[in-house]
Amino acid sequence: MDSIRKQASKLRDQVAKQQQALLRQLGQISNEPLMTHESELQCQHKLENLYTSTKAAKHFQRHIVRGIQGFISVSSKQMEIVRKLAKDCCNYGIENQGSGFPLARASDQLGNSYEILENERETLLGILGQQISEPLRAQITGAPLEDARHLTQRYEKLRHEVEAQAAEVLRRRSKLRGSSVSAESSMKLQNAETRLKELKSALVALGREATAAMLSVEEQQQQLNFQSLCTMVDAERAYHGHALVILEKVYAEMTEEKQPKESSSYPLSRDGYDQTADDNSNLNGFDQKHTSQTGSSFFAKVIHPFDAQADGELNLSVDDYVVVCQVDPNGWSEGECKGNAGWFPSAYIQRQDLIQASKIVE
């Protein structure tokens, strides 16, 4: 469509030049009334370029809006799925928090983290919709753009009228050249020339108004489109930055739950423990084969702090002394410290064969 308009514009320019050449050959009148000034041609070409550029910017805005709408639609469905998974994880963690295994706490931590992640994604979608999509949609259908395009269309229509009126003046002047000039014909020619002058004056004024309006719209489009892209990138950066912090935190928490329990959980042999478990026990200063589940009690020193996170667990601080009642094969021990009893990781203590009397009293 744009190529057709350009071809039509070139054809009109050629016709105008041919009309001017014909008038010069007639030699009866001044060229001034029918001449197309260079400024008018420049105005015409500038409006055509502005019309094309604002149209391209409008299409680009539509592409952005459609892309954001699709992204919001797909992301909303994903949020429903992830939030359902987060809820299931939290429910499992709550229902099994007294099991003593790290899975329950890890499940609860993961569920809470996923819920926070989806809240961050919801914020991102809100920014994309409210700060990008809505302003673009408003400008696409807004009055400034439509008014400027309407002025340009009026300019094109008036320019066609000027060309038609110039042809009418040319016809009347050619007719008077070959016959006796009557008062009526002279009056009609004079009226046609006056009308042509009025149309050309209106065309110049309308061209200035349309050009100013189109330039203003073009600048607004460029600014809003650039601002929209910047806002989109900033929102994405903020979302992924927050997501990374959340994931790093839950990863650290799950790793902390995993490490001590894995270090003291070993497969059993026919005798109750394999050699790897024996080596680990010796490193901690006691032999688990003699204290497994129903073994005798012994004293142990805390070498790693432990914060109880479920009922039945025992808080430990470094250098505390614990009376260990039993050591379970799953890597947990039961004991008493400072009047409190509960379970704690076996790898967090070290057996003490000789301790100070004051510690025994405590």
* 8 Å CB contact between 286 and 351: yes
The pLDDT tens digits for 274-300 are: 433 443 444 344 444 334 444 467 888
Instruction: Give SS3 for 340.
Output: strand
What is the reported pLDDT for 178? Answer: 58
Please identify which residue in the block is written with the tokens 């300019």. Answer: 155
Put simply, whether the predicted model's pTM sits higher than 0.85 gets the answer no
**What's the 3-state SS for 87-137?**
HHHHHHHHHCCCCCCHHHHHHHHHHHHHHHHHHHHHHHHHHHHHHHHHHHH
Q: How far from 81 is each of 70, 75, 93, 117, 302, CA to CA, in Å?
A: 17, 10, 19, 13, 44
What is the reported pLDDT for 8? Answer: 62
* 8 Å CB contact between 111 and 87: yes
Exposed, middle or buried by CB within 10 Å (0-12, 13-18, 19+), for 132? buried
Residue 92 CB-half CA count within 13 A: 18
For residue 133 the two structure tokens come to 């999509």
* 8 Å CB contact between 321 and 340: no
List, run by run, the mean pLDDT of 10-residue segments along the chain (362 residues): 64 59 46 61 91 95 96 96 95 87 90 94 96 95 92 93 90 73 83 92 93 95 96 95 90 76 39 39 41 62 88 90 87 89 90 57 49
What is the reported pLDDT for 36? Answer: 57
* 8 Å CB contact between 220 and 148: no
Integer-rounded Cα Rg, in Å, for the chain is 44
